Amino acid sequence: GRKFRLPTEAEWQWAAQGASAAPAPKGAALDAAAWHRGNSNGQTHAVGTKKLNPLGLVDILGNAGEWANDLAGKPVLCGGSWADAPEAVHPNAREYQSSDWNATDPQMPKSRWWLSDGSFVGFRVVCE
């Protein structure tokens, strides 16, 4: 009887910032909190292997980018991922889906749901 949904972009950013206006982690603090191109070995990692943020959330930055809904209701990937450079992994990082994420999809037309080349995409849900 509960409703689950993707977070809005604002909800996701609030959670990623740990409910504060603190600056995004950089350098060693980012390495402790997130997987990115510089420390991921080119792949996602088990959830919970990095430091918790102030709200107790793990892997909200890096590892897999997370879907949220932007102001127009369109899906947007937030936070950066293991495939991004360290400076591109932060609470303000945003990316919209591109055709590159389906380049090797054998279907014609290509699926908009199965991202054959989107191993860096994930999601987290909100329970209302």
Q: What is the pLDDT of residues 64-116, one digit of tens each?
A: 999 999 999 999 999 999 999 999 999 999 999 999 999 999 989 988 788 99
Q: Which letter, b or e, does each residue of 95-118 get, where b requires 16 or more Cβ atoms within 10 Å of its Cβ?
A: bebeeebbeebeeeeeeeeebeeb
The two three-digit tokens of residue 101, written as one number: 């994420």
User: What is the pLDDT confidence band of residue 17, given thresholds at 50, 70 and 90?
Assistant: very high
State yes or no: pLDDT of 50 exceeds 90.
yes
pLDDT-above-90 percentage for the chain = 87
pTM: 0.91
CA-based Rg of the chain, rounded to a whole angstrom? Answer: 15
* Mean pLDDT for the chain overall: 94
Cβ(28)–Cβ(52) below 8 Å: no
